[in-house]
Amino acid sequence: MAVRGNFSSKLGFIAAAAGSAVGLGNIWGFPYEAGAGGGAIFVLVYLFFCFALCFPVMLTELAIGRKSGRNAVGAFNALGHRKWNFIGKLGVLSGVLILSFYNVIAGWAFGYTFEMAAGNFAITESFRAYTTDIFAVGGYGLMFMICTAFIVSKGVSAGIEKAAKILMPLLIVMMLSLIIYALFLPNAMAGIKFFLLPDFTKLNLSVVFNAMGQAFFSLSLGMGTFITYGSYINKKDNLVTSAALITLTDVGIAIIAGLMIFPLIGFVSGGTLSGVGRGPELIFVTLPYIFGEIGGSAGSIVGMAFFSLLCFAALTSTVSLLEVPVAYVVDEFKMSRKKAAWLMSGIVYLIGIPSLLGNGYSAYFSEFITYVNATTSTDFLNFIVNVANDSFLPLGGSLMVFFAAHIWKKQNLDAEIAIGFEGYQDSFIRKYLHFVIPFLLPATLFIIFAMIVLVTFFGF
């Protein structure tokens, strides 16, 4: 294979891959999805999906990537199945769409770093006003996209790997300190109970769908992120332990984020857990309120530290999202990495503008579409979430696993996983893969995809 920007060490790869997985999905998305989905019961279903269904998908992506040494589209060509590279093209499209709105939210978080620094805790009362301040939030988003493009233009292994090794542990320490602080607040336990004690009567199909979507999104699966990152790893690495470490880190950080936020919700709501913004505004409303309670310059410092670490977590994710289309253009169209990074990020920023405007600024994009049989409209950002995250990712995951099992063939998948893993042939993990990969996993993911489409867009 031509010279690729390989990761310099196993730890470097794990840091970058875990950096991709850990992001707004864990700290912003997971707590609010758990809050909306009945608390602990959502967490339980989510954990099940992460390990039972998502882990094999990650392994498959990594194996395809390492074997082919190519981007999400080129990988299928390199394995000799050009006809199947539409799966990779779907992934590139998903990456572009996901990054377009992800960057908008990252821009909010970036702006919050400065708001906290300025001691503007009252922002909790006017989050809507904040998101409609288009030139400010649009500018922060633009700066965020520029940082992302800059890192990707240098190549994944150069900047990101080093930064991730230092800043990820720092983020964990920060969140653990906030957990300790939160646990001593009055009514913290009401929040913890909601988060950890499952109420099985709350289990229903929408909990299952949302937990599935959240697991896929949080683990960066279904669009070839790990095909692309897998193409940069060493043949000697053990793919199974790598995938396990990435999954554990990602799930661990989501749980830590929940342990941090739910006691705070307990406190702010006086133990009732109601009346507190539980939707997408959760970390943008509840957290700053707490920083305001801490007050003064201490509140500012904690708030600033939290949001800057959150931005860093988001940055390692946006980098991985941009890397997928960029690696595609670099490999397949022989464009220079630098040119590809700036060109792609520019396109993605433009595609993200309706998502930026659809949070109250433009009535058209805020009430963009009303699905069949729906009583309320959906804004542009959430429309893209429904299309790209909720539909394309499980579809992509299903197709990739199907491809690996039946087109590429599971002996080849086995052979690739076995490199760097002595004893794979007799391992439990091999038996498990052979159990789920031929039929169960692709079928489950496809059914979930089909049902999400029918329920979300057609109101079944």
Q: Which residue is nearest to ligand TRP, using beta carbons?
A: 25
| Binding segment (CB under 6 A) for ligand TRP, from list 18-26, 272-280, 370-378, 436-444 | 18-26
* One of 19, 23, 299, 303 touching ligand TRP (CB under 6 A): 23
Quick check: helix, strand or coil at residue 297? helix
Give me the sign of the Cα torsion angle 175, 176, 178, 179. positive
Minimum CB–partner distance for residue 21 and ligand TRP (Å): 5
| Binding segment (CB under 6 A) for ligand TRP, from list 23-31, 286-294, 329-337, 412-420 | 23-31
Q: Can you tell me the distance from the alpha carbon of 332 to that of 141, in angstroms, rounded to the nearest whole number?
A: 29
- Candidates 180, 214, 168; CA nearest to 49 is 214
User: Under the criterion CB under 6 A, does residue 223 sit at the interface with ligand TRP?
Assistant: yes
How many C-beta atoms lie closer than 10 Å to residue 117's C-beta?
16
Minimum CB–partner distance for residue 122 and ligand TRP (Å): 28
For 452, residues 6+ apart whose C-beta sits below 8 A from its C-beta are 209, 213, 390, 391, 394
Answer whether 148's CB lies under 8 Å from 316's CB. no
For 363, residues 6+ apart whose C-beta sits below 8 A from its C-beta are none
Q: Can you tell me the distance from the alpha carbon of 109 to that of 191, in angstroms, rounded to the nearest whole number?
A: 24
Minimum CB–partner distance for residue 3 and ligand TRP (Å): 25
Tell me whether residue 231 or residue 362 sits nearer to ligand TRP (CB atom). 231
Minimum CB–partner distance for residue 102 and ligand TRP (Å): 6
Site of tokens 């094999």: 56
Q: Can you tell me the distance from the alpha carbon of 255 to that of 37, in angstroms, rounded to the nearest whole number?
A: 15
Q: Can you tell me the distance from the alpha carbon of 264 to that of 350, in angstroms, rounded to the nearest whole number?
A: 37
Tell me whether residue 92 or residue 302 sits nearer to ligand TRP (CB atom). 92
User: Under the criterion CB under 6 A, does residue 398 sit at the interface with ligand TRP?
Assistant: no
Residues in region 81-140 near ligand TRP by CB under 6 A? 98
Tell me whether residue 222 or residue 263 sits nearer to ligand TRP (CB atom). 222
State the binding string over 254-273 for ligand TRP (x if CB under 6 A, else -): --------------------
Euclidean distance between the first and final Cα of the chain, in Å?
48
Residues in region 297-336 near ligand TRP by CB under 6 A? 317, 320-321
For 225, residues 6+ apart whose C-beta sits below 8 A from its C-beta are 20, 61, 95, 320, 321, 323, 324
State the binding string over 24-53 for ligand TRP (x if CB under 6 A, else -): xxx---------------------------
Tell me whether residue 25 or residue 288 sits nearer to ligand TRP (CB atom). 25
* Angle between the N-to-C axes of helices 282-294 and 86-117, in degrees from 0 to 180, rounded to the nearest 10: 20
Minimum CB–partner distance for residue 414 and ligand TRP (Å): 26
Answer whether 40's CB lies under 8 Å from 295's CB. no
* One of 225, 242, 300, 382 touching ligand TRP (CB under 6 A): 225
Tell me whether residue 223 or residue 418 sits nearer to ligand TRP (CB atom). 223
How many C-beta atoms lie closer than 10 Å to residue 184's C-beta?
9
* One of 217, 232, 289, 424 touching ligand TRP (CB under 6 A): 217
Minimum CB–partner distance for residue 161 and ligand TRP (Å): 16
Residues that bind ligand TRP (CB under 6 A): 20-21, 23-26, 98, 217-218, 220, 223, 225, 317, 320-321
